Amino acid sequence: MKSTAAQQSAITWIDQSMSQLSDWNYRIWSYAESAWREYNSAAWYVEKLTAEGFTVEQASAGMPTAFYAHWSNGEGPSVATYAEYDAVPGNCQAATTTEQPRQGLSVHAAGHTDPHSALGMSALGGLLAAKAVMQKHDIKGTLRFTGEPAEKVRGSKPIHAAKGYYDGLDGMISFHPCYMLPLCNTTRWDTHCGAAYSLIYRFICDQPQTWLKREDSLPIPQAHSAVRAPGANDALFAMYNHSKSLRDSMLPHSGYWSISEAILTAGQATADNLPARLTEIQYIIRAPTIAMLDQVVEVLDNNAKASADLTHCRFEKCWVSKSRPGLANHVMADLVFEALQRVGPPVWNDQAVDVAREIQMNLGLEAMDNPFISQCHELIASQQAEQIMREDLPPSQINHTSDDYTEMCWHTPTARVYVARPMLKAPAGYSYPDWAMNALGGIPATIDPMLSAASKTVALSLLRLLEDKDVRNAAREEFNQRTGGGIGGDQWIAPLCDYEPPINFRWPEYITTARGHDWWIPADGY
C-alpha cells in the first residue's frame, strides 16, 4: 500500500485522539442498551456527529434508535462505514477483574459481549479521522455513517437496505472485533456470512374453551377445583416442543445451520385457574442459503397452526428480520488488508498484561507471562484464513456463520475486516467464563489497543477509496460481475424486507418506576 500524506495525517489524528475515543467508548459500553432500546447510545452518536458537522437524520427508516449521517467536502466519491451499539441481556459486567455487575444493576441486565461499543467507536474514530484529513488535504467526496440498532436480532440493516440507505455508495467498510478464529486481524475473502430469518409467533386466546362452564353459572367453576382450560401458554409450549422434536428434520444434515428460540415475556399476571391470553416465542434461523431458511419457516408455520388449533387459540406471524447471505469482493478485501498491514495488529502494553494476569489469578489460575493468545498479535492473510475456515465446510457451501453486514454487500462493494479484541490463553481443558471476556471489552487498558488499530484501518481504507479512482473502478467492476450486472442484475438478490420495523414487541429495556431505575420489560405495547 503506497503511503500518502493524507493517510499519515489520519494515523496521527487517531494517535492524538485516543484519549477521547477511549472515553467515548467507555460511555457507550456503560450504557449497554439492548436491541431496539438503545436510546442513550443513539442520542450520543447523533449529538456527536451533529457537533462534527454531519447532517443527521434521526430515527431513519422508522427505527427510533437508528440514524443516518452524511458530510461532504465537495463533489466526489461517496464512502461509508457504520456503528452498532446494542448489548445483550444477561451479560451485565463491570469493567473490573472480578465477576460483578455494573453498579446498581443485576447480572440479568444487558452488557456488551462482542463488544459492539468498540465496534461502533472504531468506525467513528476512522470516520472522524477521514473527515479531518479530507479538510486538511482538500480531498473531495462524501462520508456516510449509519447507526445500526438491534444487530443481535439482525434488526436494522435489512430495513435500511430496503429503504435505499446503502444505495449510491462507492464502497463500504464493515469492521467487527474478532469473534472466531482464524478470522483475527484479517479480512474475509470468499466465504462471507450466511442468511438469517428472525420471526415471532404470537398466540392469542381471545376466548378460552367454555367446557368448564356449569349450568349453575357460578362465576368461578368448582371453586378453583377444576383444571383450567388450555390457552396461550399451552399453545406456546406445544409450538416449542413440536419444533424441538422436528429440528433434525427441518433441514438435511449438510452445511452449518442453526435455529434458536426465545420465549418473550408477555407481562401478564394470571390467576391460577385462568388460561394465559397472550404468549410469544421468537425464532432466529441461520443458514447458508435463503432456500434453507424458507424450508424451516414452512415447518414452523405448520407447527404454529397445529399448536393454535389444539389450544383454542389463534396465531400471528411477525417478522423481525430477513437478511441475505454475503457477497465477496476481493478488491475491497485486499484494499482493507493492505491498510491493516500498514497499521499492524493491536499492541498490548504492560498495564494491559497486568489486567489479564489479574483476571487469571482471580479465577484461581496461574498467571501467564503472555496471557493473550498468539493470534491477537499476528496478521493472517485473507486467503490463508479462508483456507483454514474452509477445512470444516462442505465444498459446495458458499456462506458460513451469521452477521447482517451482508445486507450492504448487495448495494455497494463491501469489505469485512476483523481486528483482534483481547482474548486470553486458556490452560488445557479450561474455558473462561463469559464475564471475563465481557470485562476485557470494557477495561480501557485492554480494549483500547483494538480501538486504535481498527480506527486506523477504517480511516486508511476510507481514504484509499476516496483517493484512488482505479481501485474504486476495480471494486465496482467485480461487484457488477458477481451480481450479473450490478444492482438489478440477474445474480443480484433484492432486499427481502417486506415488514415494518419490529419495534413494539416486549424487548427488554431499562425503565424507571416508583421502585427506581430497573431492568425489565416495557409496560405497554402489544
Task: Please state the domain extents for the chain.
Answer: 5-192+325-363+404-482, 197-213+226-324
Residue 267 has pLDDT above 90, yes or no: no
How far apart CA 400 and CA 325 sit, in angstroms, is 9
Q: Helix or strand or coil: residue 271? A: coil
Helix (H) or strand (E) holding 124: helix 116-137
How far, in Å, are 87, 355, 442 from residue 349 at the CA level?
A: 27, 10, 16
Percentage of the chain beyond pLDDT 90 is 79
Whether 193 contacts 284, CB under 8 Å? no
Report, as an integer, the average pLDDT of 66-92.
Answer: 97
Helix (H) or strand (E) holding 143: strand 142-148
How far apart CA 222 and CA 226 sit, in angstroms, is 6
- 52 alpha-carbon distance from chain centroid: 26
Q: Which amino acid is at 262?
A: A
Q: What is the pLDDT of residue 456?
A: 98
Residue 502 has pLDDT above 50, yes or no: yes
Question: Comparing 337 with 249, which gets the higher pLDDT?
Answer: 337
Whether 3 contacts 468, CB under 8 Å? no
Whether 44 contacts 109, CB under 8 Å? no
Whether the bond into 177 is cis, omega within 30 of 0: no
Of residues 201, 197, 153, the one with CA closest to residue 302: 201
DSSP-derived secondary structure letter, 324:
P
Q: What is the pLDDT of residue 251?
A: 76
Report the alpha-carbon angle 75-77-81, nearest 5.
Answer: 125
Indicate the pLDDT class of residue 261, thresholds 50, 70 and 90.
confident
Whether 177 contacts 272, CB under 8 Å? no
How far apart CA 425 and CA 434 sit, in angstroms, is 14
Q: What's the full length of the chain, in residues?
A: 526
Indicate the pLDDT class of residue 521, thresholds 50, 70 and 90.
low
Residue 53 has pLDDT above 50, yes or no: yes
How far apart CA 347 and CA 452 sit, in angstroms, is 9
Residue 149, φ and ψ in degrees, nearest 5: -75, 165
How far apart CA 136 and CA 130 sit, in angstroms, is 10
Assign a CATH topology to domain 5-192+325-363+404-482: Aminopeptidase (3.40.630)
Residue 526 has pLDDT above 70, yes or no: no
How far, in Å, are 196, 336, 347, 437 from residue 374 at the CA level?
A: 32, 22, 12, 16
Q: Helix or strand or coil: residue 230? A: coil
Residue 341 has pLDDT above 80, yes or no: yes
Q: What is the pLDDT of residue 214?
A: 56
Indicate the pLDDT class of residue 254, thresholds 50, 70 and 90.
low
Assign a CATH topology to domain 197-213+226-324: Alpha-Beta Plaits (3.30.70)
First and final CA of the chain: distance in angstroms? Answer: 54
Q: What is the pTM of this model?
A: 0.93
Cell of 415: 469489505
Residue 108 has pLDDT above 60, yes or no: yes
Q: What is the pLDDT of residue 524?
A: 47
Q: What is the pLDDT of residue 270?
A: 56
Q: Which amino acid is at 392?
A: D
Q: Would residue 138 be called left, alpha or beta, if left means φ above 0 and alpha means ψ between -120 and 50 degrees?
A: left
In this structure, are strands 171-177 and 78-84 parallel, antiparallel, or unpaired?
parallel
Residue 299 has pLDDT above 80, yes or no: yes
Q: What is the pLDDT of residue 525?
A: 43
Q: What is the pLDDT of residue 100?
A: 95
Name the packing angle between helices 116-137 and 444-467 (round to 10°).
Answer: 40
Percentage of the chain beyond pLDDT 70 is 92
Cell of 409: 454487500
Residue 230 has pLDDT above 60, yes or no: yes
Q: Identify the sign of the CA torsion 114, 118, 123, 124.
A: positive
Residue 211 has pLDDT above 90, yes or no: no
> What's the mean pLDDT when you consider all of the chain?
92
How far apart CA 511 and CA 498 sit, in angstroms, is 31
Indicate the pLDDT class of residue 272, thresholds 50, 70 and 90.
low
Report the alpha-carbon angle 51-52-55, nearest 5.
Answer: 85
In this structure, are strands 78-84 and 88-89 parallel, antiparallel, or unpaired?
unpaired
Cell of 371: 496471557
Of residues 385, 133, 398, 123, the one with CA closest to residue 254: 398
How far apart CA 249 and CA 231 sit, in angstroms, is 28
Residue 377, φ and ψ in degrees, nearest 5: -100, 5
